[in-house]
Structure 1
């Protein structure tokens, strides 16, 4: 996994989790959903990079 993409994936995951948590705390369902989506995007990016690493071997 390239360090740049790995960092981007982790940042997206953290930002999404924070948004989801804040959304739940204030009762904002839209923000909660947006956070979940962002976190999923980070998860997908991380999975993509792991697959790329497997095929590099």
Structure 2
């Protein structure tokens, strides 16, 4: 697991918290911020996953 994967998951969790707070307080701005954070977190995690996959492929191809 690399730092982009970890930071992506953390961002997703923060987004879920912000979304829940926005719903609980009837604050659409906070809810939207949470949705955007979750999306950004998913993208960052996917980037980290791709980096990890490339690293694994390089190890397999260069024993």
Quote the Cα distance in structure 2 between the aligned partners of 1:7 and 1:50: 10
Shift of 1:45: 0.3
- 5+ long unaligned stretches in structure 1: none
> What TM-score do you get using the length of structure 1 for normalisation?
0.86
Quote the Cα distance in structure 2 between the aligned partners of 1:50 and 1:30: 30
Q: 1:42 aligns to what?
A: 41
> What TM-score do you get using the length of structure 2 for normalisation?
0.79
Quote the Cα distance in structure 2 between the aligned partners of 1:28 and 1:39: 17
Quote the Cα distance in structure 2 between the aligned partners of 1:35 and 1:23: 8
The answer to whether the Cα contact below 8 Å between 2:5 and 2:49 also exists between their aligned partners in 1 is no
Say whether residues 1:30 and 2:44 are aligned partners.
Answer: no
Q: Count the aligned residue pairs.
A: 56
Quote the Cα distance in structure 2 between the aligned partners of 1:20 and 1:40: 12
Shift of 1:7: 2.1
The answer to whether the Cα contact below 8 Å between 2:6 and 2:45 also exists between their aligned partners in 1 is no
